[in-house]
């Protein structure tokens, strides 16, 4: 009799714990944004840019799954840092229908800009279904450019005294980085923005040395402690989140992103990275 009661109590406790974890995973962590801070040593950094800050905002996924209010509040918090540069590393939207274009326009009315410049690229979700809808990518590009972002699609641009190279998305039909990266010498001071970290392993980098800022993985969204996340949309399982040392004197930072695909996050809080630029590397 006693052991039966104990078993019932244990079951009830397990049920309550599971419900609490579920509630946390659904209601709390997906909106529990973390601002991470790190120093970014850059070789040949122009003196006037030293000690400037750069905010990386990735994977907003504006659409039916991510609450607009949450994104707008995240934008407001970025503005408090008064970043010198802001970069957006793709997946502006989760495309379901042309409704997302109006939604993107409305949310971007609140977007933070860098004092010296604002640069962006596209991600696979900006290409609509199966990452193949070129008309969707073009419309997203138009809206983002009209909002004042220097959007780079296999292009480079000097913005605020810093050179940025923006690679179009690896899974899209428009991934063509070879030419633009081939123009870079090992001495160039540049930043590469590249949505999908797997691109770092392809033989397209020429002599480029320096930082690659990426997103795409969302850090896996749910991760058991001490283990890799079970769902990770990359071939290279090293590419989860954070700073990664690469061959050829390259380093990559993978943001955990702001938004989500499904509204669940566990042990992988959303992130906006604030980088402090310094000479070195
Ligand atoms: Fe994404």
Cα–Cα distance measured from residue 68 to residue 62, given in angstroms and rounded to the nearest whole number? 7
Cα of 258 vs centre of ligand 1, distance in Å, is: 9
CA distances (Å), origin 44, targets 134, 188, 193:
37, 7, 18
Encode the chain (281 residues) as per-residue pLDDT tens digits. Answer: 658 888 888 888 778 888 889 999 998 999 999 999 999 999 889 999 999 999 999 999 999 999 999 999 999 999 999 999 999 999 999 999 999 999 999 999 999 999 999 999 999 999 999 999 999 999 999 999 999 999 999 999 999 999 999 999 999 999 999 999 988 876 778 899 999 999 999 999 999 999 999 999 999 999 999 999 999 999 999 999 999 999 999 999 999 999 999 999 999 999 999 999 999 86
Cα of 91 vs centre of ligand 1, distance in Å, is: 5
Cα of 13 vs centre of ligand 1, distance in Å, is: 36
Closest listed residue to residue 167, CA positions, set 130, 219, 119: 119
pLDDT of residue 66: 97
pLDDT of residue 2: 59
Around ion ligand 1, residues with a beta carbon closer than 5 Å are 59, 91
The two structure tokens encoding residue 60: 């907003």
Q: What is the pTM assigned to this prediction?
A: 0.94
Cα of 46 vs centre of ligand 1, distance in Å, is: 32
Cα of 193 vs centre of ligand 1, distance in Å, is: 14
Cα of 57 vs centre of ligand 1, distance in Å, is: 11
Cα of 30 vs centre of ligand 1, distance in Å, is: 14
């Amino acid at each position: 009799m006693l052991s039966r009661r104990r078993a019932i109590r244990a079951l009830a406790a397990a049920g309550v714990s599971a419900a609490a974890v579920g509630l946390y995973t659904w209601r709390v962590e997906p909106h529990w944004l973390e601002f991470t801070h790190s120093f970014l040593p850059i070789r040949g950094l122009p003196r006037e840019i030293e000690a400037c800050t750069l905010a990386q905002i990735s994977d907003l996924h504006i659409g039916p799954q991510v609450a607009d209010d949450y994104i707008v509040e995240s934008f407001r918090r970025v503005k408090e840092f008064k970043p010198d540069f802001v970069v957006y590393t793709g997946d502006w939207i989760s495309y379901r229908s042309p409704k997302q274009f109006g939604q993107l326009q409305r949310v971007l009315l609140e977007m933070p800009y860098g004092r010296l410049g604002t640069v962006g690229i596209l991600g696979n979700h900006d290409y609509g279904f199966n990452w193949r809808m070129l008309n969707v990518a073009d419309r997203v590009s138009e809206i983002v450019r009209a909002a004042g972002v220097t959007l780079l699609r296999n292009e480079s641009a000097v913005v605020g005294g810093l050179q940025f190279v923006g690679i179009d998305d690896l899974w899209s039909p428009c991934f063509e980085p070879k030419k633009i990266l081939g123009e870079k010498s090992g001495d160039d001071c540049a930043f590469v923005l590249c949505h999908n970290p797997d691109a770092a392993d392809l033989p397209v980098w020429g002599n480029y040395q320096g930082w690659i800022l990426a997103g795409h993985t969302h850090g896996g969204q749910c991760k058991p402690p001490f283990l890799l996340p079970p769902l990770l949309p990359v071939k290279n399982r090293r590419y989860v989140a954070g700073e990664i040392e690469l061959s050829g004197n390259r380093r990559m930072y993978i943001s955990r992103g702001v938004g989500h695909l499904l509204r669940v996050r566990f042990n992988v809080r959303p992130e906006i990275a604030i980088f402090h630029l310094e000479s070195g590397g």
